Amino acid sequence: MGVLAAAIAVGLAAVGAGIGNGLIVGRTVEGIARQPELKNQLQTTMFIGVGLVEAMPIIAVVIALMVM
């Protein structure tokens, strides 16, 4: 059961990160299209957000390994 729980946790974390990254990048592209002069600020904020979103699946993998 521990292996199944770990697999589900990692899978859901990956799906959540994919959705989160898609939303972040999509909204950044919209923002750049509306105000091209803010491109550098928006990209910086986007990279910070993507980094935070990507940390969650890594944490999920670590927790899954601890459960196993």
Q: What is the pLDDT of residue 67?
A: 85
Which secondary structure element, helix H or strand E, spans residue 56, and what is its range? helix 39-67
Q: Which residues of 53-67 are buried (b: 16+ CB within 10 A; e: fewer)?
A: beeebeebeeebeee
Q: What is the pLDDT of residue 68?
A: 82
Q: What is the pLDDT of residues 35-60, one digit of tens each?
A: 999 999 999 999 999 999 999 999 99
pLDDT band at 2 (very low <50, low <70, confident <90, very high): confident
C-alpha 41: how far from its chain's center?
19
Alpha-carbon span 23 to 50, nearest angstrom: 10
The yes-or-no verdict on residue 19 having pLDDT over 90 is yes
Spatial neighbors of 31 by CB under 8 A, at least 6 apart, are 38, 42
Assign a CATH topology to domain 1-67: F1FO ATP Synthase (1.20.20)
